[in-house]
Amino acid sequence: MKSTSKIIAGLTLTALLIACTEHQPINTPVVSTPVKPQAQSRPIYTPPINPLGERTVEDILQIYGEYTTRKLNTYFAKAKVSFPPKAITLVALKQEKKLELWARDNAEFRLIHTYGIQAASGVAGPKLRMGDKQVPEGIYHIDGLNPNSHYHLSMKLNYPNEFDLFHAVQEGRTEPGSDIFIHGRAVSIGCLAMGDEIIEELFILTTQVGAENVKVVIAPHDPRAYPLTADSAQLPLWTTELYADISREINTLSAPVKSAKSMGSAAMLH
């Protein structure tokens, strides 16, 4: 019995040793492959420490400035425009949901980059009253920068401008609306929502150029594709004048691009 037990114990031990060796790592030669350098990721916001516990424009420059400026420099280099430029014009096309960035240094305006608009509420036609959820149409300027927006960052437009106010008074509209922004995120109730990373670019660029050197033109659709016409009975009569002004602004910007294209050059296209 003892010899039988020894034999059984010996067989069991041998089986366990074989089982363990089946899961041992196999020695294989290690081949090292070069790792492609990763592009620098977008910085994550860390709230700065200051007495009010709020961000300032300087905070935004410190957080996003270096990363964003490198991207902007790439756009401007391709368009052959010095950075930072002397002036910029943002052309927002509501139907196409596009925002074009135009800029100039010592020469004519050139198209630098085209962004997608993430959200823009309303339909074709100017903004007339508070709560109509319309993105306004017209020629505007940047009235202020908000580094503490509920929509990440925002840039306030000077709506209603003199044109808007004049016609509101003429028609007895006492509340034409206000607080129209270009901002981050992807939701709109009368503003242009650009998404967070794009508003960072526009915000940083505006601080570098100066808000006084930024023009914003908002159109119902691209007048270079087909004319802007006030063909709806619901639109005010003065919309024809407004659309003529908008078309003139956009077509003046685009003239150099059309000229270059006709000569077979795509140097200024992006």
Active site residues: 183, 191
Residue found by looking up tokens 């981050």 in the block: 184
User: Sign of the C-alpha dihedral, residues 143, 95, 189, 134?
Assistant: positive
At 188, phi and psi to the nearest 5? -140, 140
Nearby residues of 147 by Cβ (< 8 Å), 6 or more positions away? 54, 55, 56, 57, 59, 60, 153, 203
Provide DSSP, 85-133: -SEEEEEEETTTTEEEEEEESSS--EEEEEEE-SEE-S-SS---STTS-
Provide DSSP, 159-170: -S-HHHHHHHHH
Question: In whole angstroms, what is the distance from residue 166 CA to residue 253 CA?
Answer: 27
Question: In whole angstroms, what is the distance from residue 133 CA to residue 95 CA?
Answer: 15
- Report CA 137 to chain centroid distance, whole Å: 19
User: Sign of the C-alpha dihedral, residues 189, 123, 136, 108?
Assistant: positive
Written as six digits, the tokens of 267 are 């140097």
Helix, strand, coil percent values for the chain (each to nearest 5): 35, 15, 50
The residues that bridge with 88 in the sheet, in sequence order, are 103, 214
Question: In whole angstroms, what is the distance from residue 142 CA to residue 145 CA?
Answer: 8
